[in-house]
Amino acid sequence: MSFEELPHTADVKIRARARTLNELFSEAFLALMQVMYGTDRKAKVKREILIDAADPESLLCDFLSEVLFISEVDSMVFSGATISIDGSHLSAVLEGESFDPARHAGGTEVKGISYSGLSITWDANGYILDILFDV
């Protein structure tokens, strides 16, 4: 499992790799939180999310958009997620803490998750995701 930031002219482009779809979604989640808040994030509280969507790409966008919404509205910073995907249904338990400007303000503001350029592919080594975070 891993993710990396790729060059992009206007937004943040992430490529993630994982053996399973659950792990791929977890990598995308971790990438989003790292871009926004850096690496100093703790697990103090839990939050559950349930999402249904027609296909894996929509499921991922809806999941990350919900994480972004909760993070902004409730001033939460998440450090990890236990994700379970069953067909078109995703359930996740997010672990995190309240936003602390002294520790979390150094990241990049993400305004949304883009369908543009979004792709989930699979090869002999597992899944590969390319996704853009609108900044």
> What is the pLDDT, as a whole number, of residue 10?
86
List the domains of the chain with CATH numbers. 2-134 (3.55.10.10)
In three-state secondary structure terms, 13 is strand
| Average pLDDT across the chain, whole number | 95
- Read off the pLDDT of residues 34-49 as tens digits, 9 standing for 90 and up: 999 999 999 999 999 9
| Cα four-point dihedral sign 37, 67, 118, 84 | positive
In this prediction, residues 46-65 reach a mean pLDDT of 98
The pTM is what?
Answer: 0.95
> What is the pLDDT, as a whole number, of residue 4?
86
Q: How far is residue 128's CA from residue 28's CA, in Å, rounded to a whole number?
A: 11
Percent of the chain with pLDDT over 90: 91
Q: How far is residue 37's CA from residue 107's CA, in Å, rounded to a whole number?
A: 5
